[in-house]
């Protein structure tokens, strides 16, 4: 990890891949990840961890399948939302959005249970930021 401040605009400018987070830093046993997203991700579940979203630019929608039924939350720029562990969810960005995610190191971007992985999804646990 870098031992210097990271300018987020420089970090986002360093990659183009969608739905392929970059690890900008670590806090204890957690990754702070940056992601560019657009279009649909996939339905998935994180069995053992919550998933934190902060929308830095654009807008993100997250569909949730909860005990009470299915609903979608809309996160405009500046909004935060945490998907609780065990809740099936599907993020969608109607246009390009920039996100900051906070997850335990090693958490797969497609969760522990998911549908077939589309070609546009990089199913890794994040990539090191290359500045």
Domain ranges of the chain: 8-106
Mean pLDDT of the chain: 91
Q: Could you give the CA distance from residue 100 to residue 23 in angstroms, rounded to a whole number?
A: 10
For the domain bounded by 8-106, which CATH number is listed?
Answer: 2.60.120.10
pLDDT digits (tens, 9 = 90+) for 49-78: 999 999 999 999 999 999 999 999 999 999
Task: Calculate the CA dihedral of residues 113, 115, 116, 117 and round it to 10 degrees.
Answer: -70
What is the value of pTM for the model shown? 0.91
Q: Give pLDDT < 50 ranges for the chain.
A: none
């Amino acid at each position: 990890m870098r031992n210097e401040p990271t300018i987020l605009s420089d970090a986002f400018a360093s990659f183009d891949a969608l739905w392929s987070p970059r690890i900008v830093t670590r806090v204890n046993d957690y990754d702070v990840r940056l992601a560019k997203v657009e279009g649909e991700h996939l339905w998935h579940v994180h069995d053992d961890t919550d998933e934190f979203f902060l929308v830095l630019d654009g807008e993100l929608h997250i569909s949730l399948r909860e005990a009470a039924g299915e609903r979608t939350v809309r996160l405009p720029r500046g909004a935060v939302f945490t998907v609780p562990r065990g809740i099936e969810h599907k993020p969608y960005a109607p246009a390009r959005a920039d996100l900051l995610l906070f997850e335990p190191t090693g958490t797969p971007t497609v969760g522990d249970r998911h549908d077939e992985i589309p070609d546009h999804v990089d199913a890794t646990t994040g990539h090191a930021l290359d500045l």
